[in-house]
Structure 1
């Protein structure tokens, strides 16, 4: 059995079928909004990128991310953080634990987490 359909109804049905098969397209406004969101997110990452929070068994600690340069040692960083009132050996152990290091050796360009001086 066939049904009688007007040309206008047939065209409307075809348009609806083809619209559901078309891929999603962004309008110019949509691209502008999406670009603004991505750039805003990247700006936040850049602004907060120099700081991170590392947590261990105790409370979270504010740290800075440092790229190791030629000639730097873990002992030098620990001595600078000790400031004369803490044992450098204990700080070396803390830095090794904080950075997941198995030795005190550092490589140029290595990312090192250093606790922010609270004093």
Structure 2
């Protein structure tokens, strides 16, 4: 036997609504705290001189990076620079695509 009175539908709805409001408020506070940090940088960024290059048919990122890499340097480092500069997720290229290439 329960010593508590049975809850009405109105009381359950009020409790559910209060829980949702608290959850949304917690998410908004979390976003306000973490959100700006997602866009923050480590410090001032120096501008980089770039050339715009149009990818030709059959060209790969390796080919393009190899033509820019000075003798004795690693082509993979140049590839990473190009990927970072163009916000590329992978090394796939399409003919006609334009890339920013670092000027040295």
TM-score (norm 2): 0.53
Q: Which whole-Å CA distance do the structure 2 matches of 1:66 and 1:89 have between them?
A: 19
Q: Which whole-Å CA distance do the structure 1 matches of 2:74 and 2:80 have between them?
A: 10
The residue aligned with 2:49 is 62
Task: Report the Cα offset of residue 84 of structure 1.
Answer: 1.4
Choose which of 59, 80, 84 in structure 2 pairs with 1:72. 59
SS at match of 2:49: strand
Task: Report the Cα offset of residue 58 of structure 1.
Answer: 4.5
Structure with higher RCO (Cα < 8 A, 6+ apart): 2
Cα root mean square deviation, aligned:
1.5
Q: Which whole-Å CA distance do the structure 2 matches of 1:98 and 1:108 have between them?
A: 19
Task: Report the Cα offset of residue 99 of structure 1.
Answer: 0.5
Residue-by-residue CA offset, 1:8-55 (whole Å, 9 max, x unaligned):
xxxxxxxxxxxxxxxxxxxxxxxxxxxxxxxxxxxxxxxxxxxxxxxx
4+ residue runs of structure 1 moved beyond 4 angstroms? none
Task: Report the Cα offset of residue 83 of structure 1.
Answer: 2.0
Residue-by-residue CA offset, 1:62-100 (whole Å, 9 max, x unaligned):
111111110111111111111213111111111111011
- 5+ residue gaps, structure 1, are 1-56
Q: Which whole-Å CA distance do the structure 1 matches of 2:68 and 2:56 have between them?
A: 17
- Greater C-alpha radius of gyration: 1
TM-score (norm 1): 0.47
Q: How does 1:2-41 map to 2 (within 5 A)?
A: none
